[in-house]
Amino acid sequence: MREALLSAQGVTVHFGGLVAVDGVDLEVHAGEMVGVIGPNGAGKTTFFHTLSGVLVPTAGRIAVAGDDLTGKSAHIYAAHGVARTFQTPRVFKEMSAVDNVRFGLEFAGRTRQHAHDAFDDPFAILDFLGLAAVASVPAGGLTPSRQRLLEIGMALGARPRVLLLDEVASGLTHAEVEKTAQLIRRVRDELGLAVIWIEHAVRVLMSYVERVAVLHQGAKIADGDPRSVARDPAVVEAYLGEEGDTQRMAA
């Protein structure tokens, strides 16, 4: 079997007495698009923090393309091709949109080998995202939805092999969510990246990913194709009380 691009084994995060992430295993291959869902506070963002070196797990192991990066810094993860967005966008508000994209590359280190020459040019990335017209506009002057797109641009600027998206569609209109989802799929198709995508809009997410992992109280309770995951009794149970989400999943 071919080697996973990203491999998490038994990843656990304790915050004092709270177990925010509880022994999570996840393997993702190049070209895979995997959704991560779970109720509020399930540990999704904390898990992403460990996958991108923002947080060192209390226990477990994380490898990228076979290299064990457990305990390494976010820069090292970026240098190995892991790029991410944040639940609250972290663009540099004073810097122009195009300089924000350039920063992505600075962060990952200029020397990293990569497969996609077209995205060497930060303007090409902005164009792909529909942001070419605002290349020179300070990021703080962009609408919140454009700032979210720009964050994807910063991640793409880092020449990723693995793209981690934390609720990039939150706060967008339904039409914008669909557009963003199509963009993300094009990124995967055209660049062959592995994409791991956390989203609360479960139904949209389920219609765009081939595989979905479900976190509940820190633990992974399901991992499989969206149809079977949506019917999994443990998943339905986890979502009870989260009114709306269960109905959206079943729809």
Q: Residue numbers of the site for ligand ATP (CB under 6 A)?
A: 15, 18, 20, 38, 40-46, 87
Q: Which stretch binds Mg ion (CB under 5 A): 37-45, 110-118, 131-139, 177-185?
A: 37-45
Judged by CB, which is closer to ligand ATP: 38, or 104?
Answer: 38
| Residue 224 near which of Mg ion, ligand ATP, none (CB within 5-8 Å, type-dependent) | none
* 45 versus 50: smaller Cβ distance to Mg ion: 45
- What is the x/- site pattern for Mg ion, positions 76-105, by CB under 5 A? -----------x------------------
User: Whole-number minimum distance, CB 42 to ligand ATP, in Å?
Assistant: 4
CB nearer to ligand ATP: pick between 87 and 96: 87
Which backbone phi and psi does 234 adopt, to 5 degrees?
-65, -35
Binding test (CB under 5 A) with Mg ion, winner from 7, 12, 45, 52: 45
Q: Is 52 in the site for Mg ion (CB under 5 A)?
A: no
Q: Report the nearest approach of ligand ATP to the CB of residue 56 (Å).
A: 13
57 binds, among ligand ATP, Mg ion, none (CB under 5 to 8 A by kind): none
226 binds, among Mg ion, ligand ATP, none (CB under 5 to 8 A by kind): none
Q: How many residues does the chain have?
A: 251
Q: Can you give the binding site for Mg ion, defined by CB under 5 A?
A: 44-45, 87
